[in-house]
Chains A and B, each alone.
Chain A
Amino acid sequence: MALKTEEMTLNMGPQHPSTHGVLRLELQLDGEFIIDVTPHIGYLHRCFEKHAEFMTYPQVVPYTDRMDYLASMYNEFGYALAVEKLLGIEVPDRVEYIRVIMGELQRIASHLVALGTYGADIGAVTPFLFCFRDREKILSLFEMASGARLLYNYIWVGGVSRDLPPEFLRLTKEFVDYFRPKIKELNDLLTFNKIFIERTANVGILPLDVAVNYGITGPMLRASGLKWDLRKNDPYSVYDKLEFEIPVGNGRMGTVGDSWDRYYVRILEMEESLKIVEQALKQIPEGDVLSAIPKRIKPPVGQVYGRVENPRGELGYFIVSDGSVNPKRIKVRGPSFVNLAVIGELCKGHMIADVISILGSIDIVLGEVDR
């Protein structure tokens, strides 16, 4: 007599610790194998876009902090660039360099959380502590410059809220020298650990054509083998004056575009960010950081799409102005929101335990998925 088989539906979340926030995944299972995954989002929906319509342009900045709370500096950066594009203003060179330094430090901090929690998800708790120890140093630098550890309100439209404190550049240089050997430490501890490789290599392979069709950007797209980085391909700020490489995945431990590649691209990106910070520290000119901040922002009628390379991918702001002091519409194209949509494709045919591994490698921040 043949055994009766039946598909099962399993809810993962909304409070599952490995979902990095409040996300519910509805798994369709055949035994322990996944047939389909349906993500249910919206648990953290805080109406950013509706709020923004009632705010003036500078008032929106603190709200952007709260979307991707692990990369607040970069959210502000992107918003400031989009509004500056709408207004057609230039900012002083010193401001551009400060923004780039902050942005790249933020990228390192954000990747440290991504890598650390990824290790913790899979069962390696020590690297998580190491990563947070180093991230804390970056947060201290941010606190010194802006007064806050996580939600900065530092990068404003037309400038930054205050100049760097006198010791900042020296301490940042110290951090760069301190952190470079720590990447090797992380590699020894986690990256080339056999158990870690077994759990991540050949898991959740994302082919390049699927990635492009799903609009995937950032480390995830690069892990699939495409050299695409807005800092190089559509340069903004002063990135065209700085030298750095774009790391791509090459299937070193398995197949191009697997979870291990996505992890390793982030490690390599941290090294590139260190390079950028080092050059920016050397090149940063003196100047007034407040001079270009407009007293009253009243842009002309029109619509503009501004985008930056956030630690997670392309962060875009589509701003429609009706000529008043309030934006008529701000639509955020969040990289987490877009990258999460592909999870169904990645999980098919894998086991339940691999969902955790795949979700961690996508590196979502639910605050930005739900806005």
Chain B
Amino acid sequence: MTEKEIFDILKEKFPESIIEFVEAQVGENYIKVSPLEIDKVCAFLFTDSRLQFDSLINLSGVDDANGEKKVKEDGSFNFIGGTLSVVYHLESLKHLHKLTLLVSIEKDKQDVVSVTDIWAHANWHEREAFDLLGINFLNHPDLRRILMPYDWDGGFPLRKDYKDPEFYEGMKIPY
């Protein structure tokens, strides 16, 4: 099944939460989904006999770096507003079709519903997105830091406006 056909099925089933179908110039076409409905959409994709997306290949968090850029005197900057994205790559091992979903989240809200209940695979990837980008996954069973130290409070390193804190546990960074 092509992405467009899947989009039509989804649009009929979830007229509110499916936002749009984006035809990409390069790479994969994707479907934009509302962040607070993503779990319902994914559960449908997982169970529906025509679709059966039994495998989540990858889940990535992205900082879109699209807010209003404010440069400070020392050259560092931060973004006011803007969005973060979560990109889901799905695949059906039974029907051999693929799909890409994209969720766009306001940076001030940061909430998206976890899909760990559907694919256990999402667990660590969501923890990673939380750890490095500060995306808050609602209903996640174990939302802890994963790559950074558990007691890290120096911010989210993969944000574009991230700046190293001066000290961590008494050690100077950058050294």
Contacts and interface: CB of A to CB of B under 8 A. Distances in A.
Partners in one complex: yes
Interface of A: 41-42, 45, 47, 49-50, 85-86, 88, 210, 212-215, 226, 228, 233, 299-305, 307, 314, 316, 318, 320-322, 328-329, 331, 333, 337-338, 341-342, 370-371
A370 B149 CA distance: 12
Contacts of A215: 55-57, 119-121
Interface residues of B, number: 33
Contact of B58 (A49, A210, A226, A305): A305
Given A214-B121, A215-B57, A318 B148 contact: no
Interface string B87-122: 101000100100010000000000000000001110
Contacts of B27: 85-86, 302-305
Contacts of B124: 337-338, 341
Contacts of A299: 26
A341 B148 CA distance: 17
Q: Which of B24, B57, B60 lies at the interface centre, i.e. has the most chain A CB atoms within 10 A of its CB? A: B60
10 A-B pairs with least C-beta separation:
A215-B121, A304-B27, A302-B26, A331-B60, A333-B58, A42-B147, A45-B147, A318-B60, A341-B124, A329-B62
A303 B147 contact: no
B157 interface: yes
Q: In this complex, which of B27, B60, B96 has the most chain A Cβ atoms within 10 angstroms of its Cβ?
A: B27
Nearest to B157: A50
A312 B91 CA distance: 19
B158 A307 contact: no
B120 A213 contact: yes
Interface of B: 24-28, 54-58, 60-63, 65, 87, 89, 93, 96, 100, 119-121, 123-124, 132, 145-149, 157-158
A226 B25 contact: no
A180 to B, nearest CB: 33
B30 to A, nearest CB: 8
Given A233-B96, A305-B28, A321-B26, 12 more contacts: A41-B146, A42-B148, A212-B54, A212-B93, A213-B121, A215-B56, A215-B121, A305-B27, A318-B87, A341-B120, A342-B120, A371-B147
A22 B55 CA distance: 29
A45 B157 CA distance: 12
A226 B91 CA distance: 15
A304 B98 CA distance: 13
A213 B54 CA distance: 7
Nearest to A47: B157
Contacts of B93: 212, 226, 228
A316 B62 contact: no
A333 B89 CA distance: 11
A304 B58 CA distance: 12
B175 to A, nearest CB: 14
Contacts of A228: 93
17 contacts: A42-B148, A49-B158, A213-B119, A215-B120, A226-B93, A228-B93, A299-B26, A300-B26, A301-B25, A304-B28, A305-B27, A318-B89, A320-B62, A331-B58, A338-B124, A341-B124, A342-B120
A47 B16 CA distance: 38
A305 B56 CA distance: 13
A342 B148 CA distance: 21
A88 B25 CA distance: 11
A237 B28 CA distance: 19
Most A-side CB within 10 Å, residue of B24, B61, B120: B120
A325 B86 CA distance: 23
Contacts of B132: 49
A305 B26 CA distance: 10
Nearest to B102: A303
Contacts of B25: 300-302
A45 B148 contact: yes
B149 A42 contact: yes
A329 B145 CA distance: 20
Contacts of B61: 331
A86 B24 CA distance: 11
Contacts of A307: 57
A220 B20 CA distance: 37
Nearest to A328: B65
A296 B93 CA distance: 38
B135 to A, nearest CB: 13
Contacts of B148: 42, 45
A329 to B, nearest CB: 5
Nearest to A228: B93
A123 B147 CA distance: 32
B25 to A, nearest CB: 6
A341 B132 CA distance: 18
